[in-house]
Amino acid sequence: MLAGYSLVVLLMSIGVVLLVAELLLPSHGILGVGSAACILGAVFVCSRQNVWAGLALLVGVAAMMPFAWAAFVKIWPRTLVGRRVVLPRVINPAPQPLVRVGQAGVAVSDLRPMGVCEFDGVRIEARSEYGIVATGTAVTVVALENNQPTVRAA
């Protein structure tokens, strides 16, 4: 009877070690599957020894899974493998565009197709939608690509 419970402890220990190894080593889930097999094997061996002890172990393992998953999600991005896989945080958000679609302005230089336009006192490099737009022509923003306006002669 005591030998059965020592097997349970051994299988649980191996399962936890494999779970931590999955966290630290790039095994593509193989160590995680081995960990799950060891833990389920421990529940099975424990339930063969005593049904109530096996049920208690199963409930305990099921209760600990959300905490283990939360720890995994919190710790893994800080490991060597996690830093290489997980994208870094965005520190500076994308800048807000200086102009809006539909906004009217004036071409300050010839747009062939690139040039400078002025919108509400702000000069910005713009692209003409069709052909050449002469200096001083009224323009309207028809699209924004990477915060660069595409304009059409009004």
User: Can you name the residues that pair with 106 across neighbouring β-strands?
Assistant: 118, 138
Identify the pLDDT of residue 26.
76
pTM of the model: 0.53
How would you class 59 by CB atoms within 10 Å of its CB: exposed for 0-12, middle for 13-18, buried for 19 or more?
exposed
Query: 111 forms bridges with which residues in the sheet?
Result: 133
Q: DSSP labels for 67-80?
A: HHHHHHHHHGGGSH
pLDDT digits 0-9 by tens, 76-118: 788 887 888 888 887 877 677 788 899 999 999 999 989 999 9
Paired residues of 44 in beta bridges: none
